[in-house]
Amino acid sequence: MKILITGGCGFIGSNFIRYMLDKYHDYRIFNLDKLTYAGKGDNLKDKESNRRYKFIQGDICDAKIVDKIIPNCEIIVNFAAESHVDRSILYPDDFVRTNVFGTHVLLEAAKRHNVSRYIQIGTDEVYGSILSGSFTEKSQLSPNSPYSATKASADLLARSYFVTHNLPVIITRSSNNYGPYQYPEKAIPLFITNLLEGKKVPLYGDGLNVRDWLYVLDNCAAIDLVIHKGKIGEVYNIGGGSEVTNLRLTRLILKKMGKGKEFINYVTDRLGHDRRYSLNCDKIKKIGFRPRYDFNKALDFTVLWYENNKSWWKKLKK
């Protein structure tokens, strides 16, 4: 099996490449990544000597580069995306270009070269906020930030290629991921690294916004399952089953790192801040997915990783 991973030097993409190379010894992985601020070659330094892994620096918006790579691959998994909500509010153009136009370029190339599967990696944020109950794959898309709006657009574009061109598309939508190699602009790595530096952690608003947390290796296992057992044309929600308020999460991290509540800095709430995300994951459970990692223990693993890899994140925060 030959797989093209786009955005493979980012947080989830690099974890997925490592997961697939370790699990399948007869698979070849091609990694196309632009190496933006959040995509670092260092994330896969341990795989550089692996003959089954090849890195290509390039932009998914560049049709010429994409067309050179895709004929060698049977499956495309599109992780490439601008993903930070705060940045999307300040620089929406970058998000439209990569998340929408870049997806269009990949879909066109996938159609030309008859790939066997195209996996679009999405997010629960496309559904918007829900105060009670949980979103199913049939729920209306109501994105509330430029980030989630461009991801919803990418999902709909991918779906249209399935309906119009019979392209073998599958879409995944996961809840908030956490774990090693996550760029320290996202909540968990930002809080951990700030505390390691003796700094306070910025908590939006009243801190009662709710998120469902999914350890990145559980997401990798779920995507692997979707590649091999998912039904063409379908959407699969992937959740960790660990809903907590941002305030509760902050207190957990403080406790694990031996810090008190005086390290919380309450800041003005984010514009358009979604109150609660929650996914119904019955559909992916039917093909065999169950999260393996306990939230509390996996959070311990994550804290330990950042404690032991200061050289990785310190240069990113300068």
pLDDT at 301: 98
pLDDT at 204: 96
**What confidence tier does 221 reach under pLDDT thresholds 50, 70, 90?**
very high
The Cβ-side half-sphere exposure at 106, using a 13 Å CA radius, reads 34
Same fold, 2-177+214-238 and 179-211+243-275+294-314: no
pLDDT at 41: 87
Task: Express each pLDDT in 225-273 by its tens digit.
Answer: 999 999 999 999 999 999 999 999 999 999 999 999 999 999 999 998 9
Q: Is-contact 146 92, C-beta < 8 A?
A: yes
pLDDT at 40: 83
Enumerate the active-site residues: 124-125, 147
- Chain-centroid distance of CA 79 in Å reads 7
Task: Express each pLDDT in 21-59 by its tens digit.
Answer: 999 999 999 999 999 988 888 899 999 999 999 999 999
Topology (CATH) of 179-211+243-275+294-314: UDP-galactose 4-epimerase; domain 1 (3.90.25)
pLDDT at 318: 80
Q: Is-contact 85 43, C-beta < 8 A?
A: no
Where do the structural domains in the chain lie, given as residue ranges? 2-177+214-238, 179-211+243-275+294-314
User: What residues contact residue 308 under an 8 Å CB cut-off, 6+ apart?
Assistant: none
**Rounded distance between C-alpha atoms, residue 10 and residue 139, angstroms:** 28
**Rounded distance between C-alpha atoms, residue 181 and residue 39, angstroms:** 10
Of 3.40.50.2300, 3.40.710.10, 3.20.20.20, 3.40.50.720, the CATH number of 2-177+214-238 is 3.40.50.720
Mean pLDDT of the chain: 97
